[in-house]
Structure 1
Amino acid sequence: MTKIVLVCAAGMSTSLLVEKIKKAAEVKGLDYDVSAHPVAEVSTKAKDADVILLGPQVRFQLNKVKALLPDIPVDAIDMAAYGTMDGDKVIAQVQKLMGE
């Protein structure tokens, strides 16, 4: 199982995207555990994640999150994918981050 943690300002705005990613993963037969949390909780909620993705509103914290969890791939969610809530595009971004 691949654990994907999305972080945003309060953990709320990414909730819809979490559902879109889960549905897209299910269609593709991927075993993904996807959750959303406030960026303030990233060091505890994402310490065992396989990938961490930041919402556009907290992308300025990218380097901070990378420094906190240096062994985990971290990136900002593609703006177009976030804006359109495109679960397939986010899965492609996750797979690229993981070298798949």
Structure 2
Amino acid sequence: MKPIILQPGPQAWLSSSILSAYQDRYVARLREDRYAHNVIRVYLASVAHFARWLDEQHIGLSSLCTAVMSIMAKISSSRSSTRALARRWSGS
């Protein structure tokens, strides 16, 4: 199976974050759901950027409210995550 390779910056952000513990499970789940290799890479890069933002804002996972975590879980489990995010933020 082809490894997911991120650019050096995002890879460093993810590797040094609290989210790194979840990286393998996240990628495995996306593979189970038959996401294309490039889509997985893009999603993982998004997680890396989120990890960087958490670090810059000094926000730990325990500080994220349950509602935000619930929204993120729904979006990440949705095959049409872009449409789900657009609907969520537009109120549709």
TM-score of the pair, normalised by structure 1 = 0.34
Structure (1/2) with the larger strand percentage: 1
Structure (1/2) with the larger helix percentage: 2
TM-score of the pair, normalised by structure 2 = 0.36
